[in-house]
């Protein structure tokens, strides 16, 4: 009878241990989904997981009480029974020390059962199915917490007072971070739950939030725009040769922007007739500072109902055009293989041939530039812009720049713009072995 009671106490200790580990390791997001679907047990478990102090105190009281009762029953009853059995053995030496031997055997037996049945096995079960176990124990644990609430209040008051006396500050919950989400997604990918393309999308969603619109836009040298001073034939050729969803409308140059014209407005009727009334078709341009982040631009598009904006610097000069399609393209960047030529090509001598239009943010990330090297760089968004910024003019072919030990040389220029740049990392820099893009 005593042995059966002892086993029941140890198993009760196991239930407390299993409940504790399950509710600590449970995924709250999964419980939230089940609770919203109407699962009452999931709702109870979620409340305990979100406010664990009272629950943990209840568990600790239960484990402590069970431990005291187990020790009391084990020492009081089992020791005497085992001592009597040892005393009957036909070995005088053992019979003389029967009580001591019995105590050692009982302590070993109770400890073994407590560790295996009361701790290890229940905790492994709780870790194997935390959500299911949490929902199973939520009801009884909530009831026990209410029953023990006066004693729990006293314990909490005492522990809080000691914490304050020691000058220890409580740890604030900073919420879920990007790093934690990325770690979960990587774990899901390695287990086959999350597809690789889904992992890439999640990573791009976070990286896109750090990118400026200048690294996403169509830059001014590549921008196709319509001049109200041009004749209809020239405008028709521009529209037909350079199909674009939207065209900036300017007078003489992009320094005198009148608005923007959508291609659907031009092609909705006779093209020549529509080109003759560009001022009527134009809409007021939406402007974005070059320092804006991608998600700020997306929010502006949402509020304004527009899908494009002109990117300007602090002086109001047009730097390029950003469309909502540019943002979507950045989200699937690296996920879709394009047949276009790579922007970064590694040469046999260790140097790199790089497209001058490569966004500087991508260059800095790919070649691991230091914070000191990135600091104070403003007014440009491409690698070619770095050369223009540092040299003060469009470099001629063969003209080079040494910047923080990095070597840049303009190897191909076309009509006043840089096309290709030869880059040699500074000595001592680890080879990043960038993937051609």
Q: What is the mean pLDDT of residues 305-319?
A: 90
Q: Can you tell me the distance from the alpha carbon of 326 to that of 308, in angstroms, rounded to the nearest whole number?
A: 9
Instruction: Give the helix/strand (H/E) hosting 308.
Output: strand 308-312
* pLDDT at residue 84 is higher than 50: yes
- Given this structure, which CATH class describes domain 344-424? alpha beta
3-state secondary structure 327-375: HHHHHCCCCCCCCCCCCEEECCCCCEEEECCCEHHHHHHHCCCCHHHHC
Q: Can you tell me the distance from the alpha carbon of 282 to that of 390, in angstroms, rounded to the nearest whole number?
A: 38
Category of 317 on φ-ψ map: left (φ > 0), alpha (ψ -120 to 50) or beta = beta
State pLDDT tens for residues 368-404. 888 777 776 666 778 888 888 888 888 888 888 898 8
Question: Listing from the earlier edge strand, what are the strands of the sheet with 226-227?
Answer: 226-227, 246-251, 253-262
pLDDT of residue 167: 82
Q: What is the mean pLDDT of residues 345-351?
A: 87
213-331: which CATH architecture? Roll (3.10)
State pLDDT tens for residues 248-287. 999 999 999 999 999 888 877 788 888 888 999 999 999 9
**Residue 6 and residue 73 in contact, taking contact as beta carbons nearer than 8 Å:** yes
pLDDT of residue 260: 93
State pLDDT tens for residues 172-205. 555 677 787 888 888 888 878 788 888 888 888 8
* pLDDT at residue 52 is higher than 60: yes
What are the residue ranges of CATH 3.10.580.10 in the chain?
213-331
Q: The tokens of 176 are what?
A: 């879920």
* pLDDT at residue 226 is higher than 90: yes
What are the residue ranges of CATH 3.30.465.10 in the chain?
344-424
């Amino acid at each position: 009878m005593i042995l059966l009671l002892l086993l029941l106490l140890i198993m009760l200790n196991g239930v407390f241990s299993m409940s504790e580990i399950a509710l600590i390791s449970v995924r709250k997001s999964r419980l939230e989904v089940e609770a919203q679907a109407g699962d009452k047990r999931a709702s109870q478990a979620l409340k305990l997981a979100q406010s664990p102090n009272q629950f943990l105190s209840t568990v600790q009281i239960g484990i402590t009480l069970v431990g005291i009762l187990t020790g009391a029953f084990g020492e009081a009853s089992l020791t005497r029974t085992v001592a009597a059995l040892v005393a009957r053995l036909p070995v005088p030496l053992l019979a003389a020390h029967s009580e001591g031997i019995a105590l050692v055997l009982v302590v070993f037996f109770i400890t073994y059962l407590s560790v295996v049945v009361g701790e290890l096995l229940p905790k492994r079960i709780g870790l194997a199915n935390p959500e299911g176990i949490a929902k199973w124990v939520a009801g009884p644990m909530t009831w026990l917490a209410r029953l023990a609430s006066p004693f729990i209040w006293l314990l909490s008051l005492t522990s809080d007072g000691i914490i304050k006396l020691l000058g220890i500050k409580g740890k604030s919950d900073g919420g879920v971070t990007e790093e934690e989400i990325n770690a979960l997604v990587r774990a899901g990918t390695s287990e086959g739950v999350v597809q690789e393309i889904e992992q890439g999308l999640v990573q791009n969603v976070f990286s896109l939030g750090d990118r400026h619109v200048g690294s996403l836009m169509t830059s001014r040298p590549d921008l196709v725009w319509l001049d109200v001073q041009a004749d209809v034939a020239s405008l028709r050729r521009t529209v037909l040769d350079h199909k674009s969803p939207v065209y900036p409308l300017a007078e003489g140059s992009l320094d005198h922007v009148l608005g923007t014209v959508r291609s659907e407005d031009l092609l909705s009727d006779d093209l020549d007739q529509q080109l003759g009334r560009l001022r009527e078709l134009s809409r007021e341009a939406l402007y974005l500072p070059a320092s804006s982040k991608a998600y700020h631009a997306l929010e502006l598009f949402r509020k304004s109902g527009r899908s494009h904006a002109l990117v300007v610097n602090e002086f109001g000069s047009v730097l390029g055009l950003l469309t909502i399609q540019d943002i979507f393209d950045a989200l699937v960047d690296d996920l879709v293989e394009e047949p276009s030529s790579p922007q970064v090509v590694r040469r046999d001598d260790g140097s790199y041939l790089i497209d001058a239009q490569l966004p500087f943010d991508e260059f800095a990330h790919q070649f691991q530039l230091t914070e000191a090297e990135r600091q104070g760089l403003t007014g440009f968004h491409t690698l070619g812009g770095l050369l223009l910024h540092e040299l003060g003019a469009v470099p001629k072919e063969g003209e080079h720049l040494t910047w923080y030990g990095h070597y840049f040389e303009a190897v191909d220029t076309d009509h006043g713009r840089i096309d290709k740049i030869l880059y040699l990392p500074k000595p001592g820099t680890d080879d990043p072995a960038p993937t051609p893009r």
